A and B are shown apart, each in its own frame.
Chain A
Amino acid sequence: MTLVAIDLGTTNSLISVFTESGPELIPNALGDVLTPSAVGLSDKGDIIVGQAAKNRLVSHPKKTFARFKRFMGTNRDFKLGRKTYRAEDLSAMVLQSLKSDAEAYLGHEVTRAIISVPAYFNDVQRKATYAAGKIAGLKVERLINEPTAAALAYGLNSEEDENTFIVIDLGGGTFDVSILEIFDGIMEVRSSAGDAFLGGEDFTEAIVREFARQLGGPVFETLSPAALGLLRDLADKAKIELSQKEEVGVKFTHGNEQVELKLSRQTFEEISEPLIKKLRMPVQRAISDADLRAENIDRVILVGGATRMPIVRAHMTRLLKLFPEHKIDPDHVVALGAAVQAGLVDRHEALEDVVMTDVCPFTLGTEVTTEIRPGHYQSGLFQPIIERNTVIPVSRVVRNSTVVKGQTEVILRIYQGEAPRVKDNVLLGEIKIDVPKNMLEHEEIDIRFTYDVSGVLEVLVTTISTDRTERLILEGNPGSLSLDEINKRFKQLEKLKVHPRDKAENLAIISRLERAYENQLGDMRHFINQKLSEFQLILDGQKETDIENARKELSEWLEQIERTDIF
């Protein structure tokens, strides 16, 4: 059974597979390899995923969601029609859509997958990604860190034998930096750092705020959700255009008015300065954690659509004094590399001589109390057990004792983070251990942390005097789903009606017409409405060739209209 690889992104998702001729991207029903990570409800009440849903963010903002990857592992609710969903459910819908694309392409069922996650995703977010896979009916064999995947894609074409890479991965919503060393067919991740809440979407957000300033007045309170959706859509397009031009203009329609908004590259640089500043620290930390200086790095690899922005490229060149590479399309590279990982897991012959090792990007440990002076205790201290950037898999054990003699239970809290006080770190779970009542001595326990290749933690606690071992299943976090809940959600999702895959192209055209309608006035709106009804008539006629021709014609016509939005 084929093992597929999935890049589940904040903005776009991709699915790929490792074949005889190397990693290959699988196109969706529209023939694109990028499927927007957007989910919505159609007027008939079925689930729409991808480009059509992205278009409908403008025309039907209340029934469509995007950028939910940022809420993985949180209790945030997304209301779609009468039902509420979690980010895991919405992600599962995207995964399901990718799965059916792969099945159509490969001609057989797909049940096993590797999913890529930002290196800086914490344990809760990783578990949420597993859950999303399960809800979508996929067996998630492995999670792979996105920058590591990217390096795998580049590493295979590496001419030199020994190389130190830095991978800068600025995606839609997350920022990852990894340092890798390649020698003798071994790919070793030396360190990873990042920011789980920094990405291209934040730059778009900055442009939206700039446009709002140009519009004047309390824009965010007065504009309709549809108009705000349109403004965001235009801001995104302006951001992309600005990579080629010095200045862009945008035509924005709200109410019965058309306004021209302008954005120069210089203004963009000013408004995005705080974001650019945030790129520095993770790069610096990854380098010093790898015991290197920037001058020891041979290659800089840019990954993620947001690294197309000239300001990001220029900033990285200044930081590292080395020109970055982007030979492989930054939107494709993670999916391609994840496919290589799938090939590795499935023991593909072509990859016999390649081994990859990764690290755990966070410090993992427990809360401890220490006696600072006789009779004076301080609690809430963090005791690291696995230090950040340790090569995985790894297993470490520490011995702790009870605070007071005669104590009968120990509450062990597991944390992830770098702060010396647990209150500043992320709580992953807790376990209560009963220890025998011993009035003479402190009871001792061994805490063993095992971190596997997918970045998932297992905790074993052994009471020394009784030799009893307990395993901690990390469920204590309020954001995590239990196994029962995952199964329930899987059944719910199975029952949902998903918009038929073979109709996706038609829906994409309709939603694109509806989106275009939002940014037009008067006669043009009537004209678009007319086109919509005409297309509906052709669809009702059910003649495949007619439909195809109509789609082609409309697509060309829409391109002309859309060109006037951004200039």
Chain B
Amino acid sequence: MASIWDILGLDGPTAERKDIKRAYARKLKATRPEDDPDGFMALRQAHDQALNYAKYQAEFGDVEVNVPAETVADNTESSNTSASDQSDVEPRTIAEPPVTTIDIETISASRTTKPREPSFSETMRQRINALLSSPWKRVNKSEWDQIFSDTDLESIDNAQDFEWILIDSLLERFASDDADETQNRRNKTILTAEIATYIFDQMSWHDLRDRSIRLRHAVEFIRENLDVFNRDTYQPGDYIGDDDGDDIEDQSWPELTLYAGIVVVLYLLFKFLSAWAQGKG
């Protein structure tokens, strides 16, 4: 069985993304998808695996050896980490990326017309935290409106960063106190149901079909911790994010009643027993 490096026509493993792509391009011209579908599929699989290897090496491999291959990780991970990364940096120093990490890709990325003063992410993070910290402001729709109507949010990159900043900030709120059983109930009072629903509307978080798994999970968690109206604001038949679990509940509602019944009985028994114990004591 030929190794992926053989299929690509490389001498051996390499973490250089460019080398892998070039080798793939060379082989592809002799293995066209329409003429040799099976050959192409094997080549493509080798290409994907090699790139995964390069990406893994860049992320977890020996740092010194793999510095030049860093570009892969930089690109692919940026959407996930940029929000939190930038919060660690002083707003004004962000204009100059640290010299060591400069490579072709970051240079081409910095050609953007976007102003580089206090970064968008940083200001947004501060604004959202300020808003969430104030018990009065955070339940005021017009305060949220000001944030959502920010024209900087039109840019797709900014909007994507913003989405994660908002998610992070909300998640931080939920975890801010020591976790206990009442935490969940307390979370639900951070925002009124109306505001929570408004945020979900603005972020289009009701329909998560097209979103990444990571985002789906994060938003689902937020939904569980907040009161969000679904049925009232959406027509029956519309897809609603929490649909996944619905049928399970629908199908097994007699059991749920049964469980609820058992809980009630146990509770009464406990009450009775403690009353009896007290009476004895």
Give A contacts to B, CB under 8 Å: 142, 183-186, 193, 280-281, 283-285, 287-288, 291-296, 298, 318-322, 345, 353, 355, 357, 372, 376, 378, 380, 391-395, 418-421, 424, 452-453
Contacts and interface: CB of A to CB of B under 8 A. Distances in A.
Interface in B27-75: 28-29, 32-34, 37, 40-41, 44, 75
A283 B75 contact: no
Interface string B72-97: 00011011000000000000000000
B26 A292 contact: no
A295 B32 contact: no
Interface stretch (B156-164, B171-179, B258-266, B268-276): B156-164
A287 B78 CA distance: 13
B212 A378 contact: no
Contacts of B28: 186, 355, 357
B154 interface: yes
Contacts of B75: 291-293, 296
A298 B204 CA distance: 28
Interface string B185-217: 000000000000000000010000110100000
A319 B76 contact: no
A321 B44 contact: no
Contacts of B247: 378, 380, 421
Contacts of B44: 357, 391, 394
B146 interface: no
B105 A294 contact: no
Contacts of B154: 318-319
Contacts of B239: 419, 424
A453 B157 contact: no
B33 A296 contact: no
A142 B35 CA distance: 13
A321 B157 contact: yes
Nearest to A298: B108
A298 B154 CA distance: 19
Nearest to A319: B156
B33 A453 contact: yes
Given A291-B75, A321-B113, A376-B252, A421 B244 contact: yes
26 contacts: A142-B34, A185-B29, A186-B24, A281-B210, A284-B156, A291-B75, A291-B76, A293-B157, A295-B109, A295-B114, A295-B157, A296-B109, A321-B112, A321-B113, A345-B34, A353-B29, A355-B25, A357-B33, A376-B252, A392-B33, A394-B41, A395-B41, A419-B239, A420-B243, A421-B247, A453-B34
Contact of B160 (A284, A318, A353, A372): A284
Contacts of B244: 420-421
B29 A287 contact: no
A316 to B, nearest CB: 10
Given A280-B156, A345-B34, A424-B239, 11 more contacts: A283-B156, A287-B156, A293-B109, A293-B157, A321-B155, A355-B25, A355-B33, A380-B247, A452-B37, A453-B34, A453-B37
A447 B34 CA distance: 23
Given A296-B105, A296-B109, A419-B239, A319 B41 contact: no
A186 B25 contact: yes
Interface residues of B, number: 41
B251 interface: yes
A274 to B, nearest CB: 14
Contacts of A419: 209, 239
Main secondary structure of the interface of B (DSSP, over half): helix
Given A292-B75, A453-B33, A372 B156 contact: no
B22 interface: yes
Nearest to A392: B33
Main secondary structure of the interface of A (DSSP, over half): mixed
Contacts of B157: 293-295, 321
A285 B79 CA distance: 13
Contacts of A321: 112-114, 155, 157
B83 to A, nearest CB: 12
Interface of B: 21-22, 24-26, 28-29, 32-34, 37, 40-41, 44, 75-76, 78-79, 105, 108-109, 112-114, 154-157, 159-160, 204, 209-210, 212, 239, 243-244, 247-248, 251-252
B13 to A, nearest CB: 21
Contact of B78 (A142, A293, A319, A394): A293
A563 to B, nearest CB: 38
Nearest to B37: A393
Contact of B204 (A183, A184, A281, A394): A281
A319 B243 contact: no
Contacts of B204: 281
Contacts of B156: 280, 283-284, 287, 294, 319-320
Nearest to B113: A321
Nearest to A377: B251
A368 to B, nearest CB: 14
A95 B220 CA distance: 48
Contacts of B159: 284
B120 to A, nearest CB: 11
Contact of A288 (B34, B212, B251): B212
Instruction: List the 5 closest A-B pairs by CB distance, nearest first.
Output: A184-B25, A318-B154, A393-B37, A294-B156, A291-B76
Contacts of A376: 251-252
A265 B212 CA distance: 37
A295 B113 CA distance: 10
Given A291-B76, A355-B29, A421 B243 contact: yes
Nearest to A417: B209
Nearest to A284: B156
Contacts of A293: 75, 78-79, 109, 157, 160
B25 A318 contact: no
B213 to A, nearest CB: 11
B11 to A, nearest CB: 19
Given A296-B75, A418-B209, A183 B21 contact: yes
B29 A378 contact: no
B79 A288 contact: yes
A184 B76 contact: no
Contacts of B109: 293, 295-296
B152 to A, nearest CB: 10
Given A319-B156, A420-B244, A378 B251 contact: yes
A372 B157 CA distance: 39
B97 to A, nearest CB: 13
Interface centre among B34, B156, B210, B239 (most CB of A within 10 A): B156
Interface centre among B22, B34, B79, B239 (most CB of A within 10 A): B34
A184 B41 contact: no
A318 B44 CA distance: 35
B104 to A, nearest CB: 10
Contacts of A285: 210
B23 to A, nearest CB: 10
A421 B34 CA distance: 34
Contacts of B25: 183-186, 355
Contacts of B252: 376
Contacts of A421: 243-244, 247
Nearest to A358: B33
Nearest to B22: A184
A293 B121 CA distance: 15
Nearest to B154: A318
